[in-house]
Amino acid sequence: MGKTGKLVFKGDAPKKSKKSKSKKSKKTESTASVATATSIQVKTPIHEASETNNNVTNAQPIQKKGTGTITSSGTTIMGHGTKFQKEMRSGDAIIININSHPQMRVVKMLLSNISCSISSAFTDNLSQPTAFEYINAPRNEAEERRVKAHKATLEKAEDERVAFGTYAHGGNELVYREKSSTGTSYVIRRQELDREMSREELLLMRSKKKSDKYC
């Protein structure tokens, strides 16, 4: 006997099985899903990396040898041949070894190239000049530039207010700006005169000060 099966009448087309189509459809959807997920996974890190590079320096912290040596008393650090302001900033870490045990403290304030303060005292004061290392904290360079520019603008406005406000009613004091010894900024100078002068006379005298860029 032949194989038994469903009777098919003449003129009727055999029905196609939907099973294979369903499997194929699911396979296509699964492939598309994987492709979409892969696309998202690839794009996201690139976007995040780009945003990070514009704002924060993402380099791995590096422990560097500090210039010179230091002594300490409580939270005050005294430098000997050091360059604190060139090498470190507030928020950086300073590291020393006491009896072969490393101790790390956070730099709170840089007072000069040879003086700074730390978050808490070392276990022992450093009475003898001691070598040190430091780690620079990650920087948000864009924000630092913005803060620096804003501070410079405020200082300039205050200097001008002080200088120009003095001439409101005349007087016997000439106030003008002069380049500092470093040549990178200006300082306010005050000169006492031998008589009272009008505002116009004071402004004329000030205009003759070639170093004053606001005249």
Q: DSSP for 148-169, please give it.
A: HHHHHHHHHHHHHHHHHHTTTT
- Output helix, strand, coil percentages for the chain, rounded to the nearest 5: 35, 30, 35
pLDDT at 130 over 60: yes
Specify the pTM: 0.45
Nearest CA among 31, 32, 112, 114 for reference residue 71: 114
pLDDT tens digit sequence for 67-90: 999 999 999 999 999 999 999 999
Do the beta carbons of residue 180 and residue 187 sit within 8 Å?
A: yes
Distance CA 132, CA 75 (A): 15
* Band of pLDDT at residue 45, cut at 50, 70 and 90: very low
pLDDT tens digit sequence for 173-210: 877 777 777 767 777 878 888 888 887 787 788 777 75
pLDDT on residue 141: 79
Choose the most confident range, by mean pLDDT, from 39-43, 114-118, 193-197.
Answer: 114-118
In the block, residue with structure tokens 């020393």: 96
β pairing state of 76-80 and 69-73 = antiparallel
Distance CA 176, CA 191 (A): 8
